[in-house]
């Protein structure tokens, strides 16, 4: 029988997070339907380049994490450098976000500007918190993959950490589509 990656418990967290972010998406669509003009106008003031760069950074980081975890599972060799590369992508994401938000604040756009920006800052802010947590998890993976039990008892924990990072990536992709792309 094919084994579920990670341990069962991590899927409680994943399902819970997906449930809440689904609520975020429905909330966004609900407000958008009510204030279509405001949402479309505000969307044009978002920086698509910054959002796109962040999408690429997270996708790349997820690839690193997947390769590192797969290598550990198949060959039994740890690849801490790949996890570190994923952390570097995460740092890039945070830096990109800081510049993007700083840019908006500088232009006088903030949380209270309108409903679009309220949802934008709240949802991407909560997602940013996930990214920071995820980078903590990746730092743990960097160490854990070099332990002697990494291919036996420790493997499920490493897989669970990798799954969490993929969740962070997945949530961003949906947020990106929702805020930057939906016309």
Partner 1 sequence: MLSTRSQTILVWWGLIFIIVYGLSLGFLEKMVPLPSAHLTADQVAAFYTANSFSVRLGALICSYSSAFMVPLATVIAVQMARLEKGVPIWAILQFAGGIMMSLFLVLPPIFWGVCAYTPTRPPEVTLIMHELANLTLTTTDQYYIFQMVAIAVVSLTAKPDPLTAFPRWMGYFTVWAAIMFEAGAIAFLPKSGPFAWNGLFVFWSPFCIFGAWFIALGFTLLGAINRQSALERA
Site for partner 1, rule CB under 8 A? 7-10, 12-13, 16-17, 20, 23-24, 27, 31, 111-112, 115, 118-119, 122, 126, 129-130, 133
Least distance between partner 1 and beta carbon 56 (Å) = 25
Cα separation, 147 vs 163, in Å, equals: 19
Least distance between partner 1 and beta carbon 100 (Å) = 19
Nearer to partner 1, 81 or 105 (CB): 105
Least distance between partner 1 and beta carbon 126 (Å) = 6
Burial, 37: exposed, middle or buried (Cβ in 10 Å; 0-12, 13-18, 19+)?
exposed
Least distance between partner 1 and beta carbon 155 (Å) = 15
Nearer to partner 1, 113 or 151 (CB): 113
Nearer to partner 1, 16 or 49 (CB): 16
Nearer to partner 1, 25 or 50 (CB): 25
């Amino acid at each position: 029988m094919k084994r579920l990656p990670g341990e069962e418990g991590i899927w409680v967290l994943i399902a819970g997070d997906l449930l809440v972010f689904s609520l975020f998406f429905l909330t966004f669509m609900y407000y958008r339907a009510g204030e279509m003009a405001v949402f479309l106008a505000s969307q044009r003031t978002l920086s698509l380049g910054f959002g796109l760069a962040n999408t690429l950074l997270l996708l790349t980081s997820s690839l690193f994490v997947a390769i590192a975890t797969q290598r550990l599972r198949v060959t039994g060799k740890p690849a801490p450098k790949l996890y570190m590369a994923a952390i570097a992508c995460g740092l890039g994401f945070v830096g990109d976000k800081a510049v993007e938000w700083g840019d908006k604040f500088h232009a006088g756009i903030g949380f209270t500007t309108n409903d679009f920006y309220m949802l934008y800052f709240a949802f991407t802010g909560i997602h940013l918190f996930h990214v920071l947590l995820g980078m903590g998890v990746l730092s743990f993976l960097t160490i854990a993959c070099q332990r002697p039990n990494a291919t036996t008892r420790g493997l499920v924990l490493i897989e669970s950490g990798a799954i969490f990072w993929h969740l962070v990536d997945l949530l961003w992709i949906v947020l990106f589509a929702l805020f930057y792309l939906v016309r």
